[in-house]
Each structure stands twice: as structure tokens, then as C-alpha cells.
């Protein structure tokens, strides 16, 4: 898996392994396929989700858009 993707997913709370004695229903699960074909599941606790600030994302996108005009 690409290091940029790993760090991005870690920033928003995804982990490679579930804690012992946890309820799987309390976690979001995403499945990724590496370039070599290995499949990886990543888990994030639904209660500990970090909400993304859409204003920051929009500002960045707007700057990029304007730079291409």
C-alpha cells in the first residue's frame, strides 16, 4: 500500500488491527488491495471518528482550481 495512503488513513483514525474483545459492529471497515494483490482490511472506531472540515478542503481545491485558469 502506498505510504501516502497509509498516512492519510492513519490521520483519520484507521488501524490495521482490531483491539481484543471489541465488537466488530462498532467499527467501520475498508478493504484495500495492494499492487501485489494482497488485500488489507483497515478499521476505524465509529465513536472516535474525526470529522473533516469541509472549509479547509474547499479552500485548497479552490486555490488549485484558480491556479489552472
Q: For the range 18-27, what are the long-range contacts, defined as Cβ-Cβ under 8 Å and sequence gap of 24 or more? A: 18/43
In the numeric block, the cell 485558469 is attached to 69
* The C-alpha cell that represents 64 in the structure block: 488549485
**Annotated domain spans of the chain:** 3-67
Q: pLDDT by residue (tens digit) across 4-56?
A: 666 788 888 888 898 888 898 999 999 988 888 899 899 998 887 656 555 55
* The C-alpha cell that represents 44 in the structure block: 476505524
Task: Of 42, 48, 3, 43, give the one whose Cα is nearest residue 27.
Answer: 43
Q: How far is CA 62 from the centre of its chain?
A: 22
d(CA 61, CA 49): 23
pTM, 2 dp? 0.60
Amino acid at each position: 500500500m502506498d505510504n501516502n495512503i497509509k498516512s492519510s488513513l492513519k490521520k483519520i483514525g484507521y488501524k490495521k488491527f482490531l483491539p481484543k474483545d471489541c465488537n466488530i459492529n462498532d467499527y467501520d471497515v475498508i478493504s484495500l488491495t495492494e499492487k501485489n494483490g494482497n488485500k488489507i482490511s483497515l478499521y476505524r472506531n465509529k465513536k472516535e471518528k474525526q470529522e473533516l472540515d469541509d472549509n479547509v478542503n474547499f479552500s485548497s481545491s479552490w486555490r488549485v482550481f484558480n491556479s489552472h485558469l
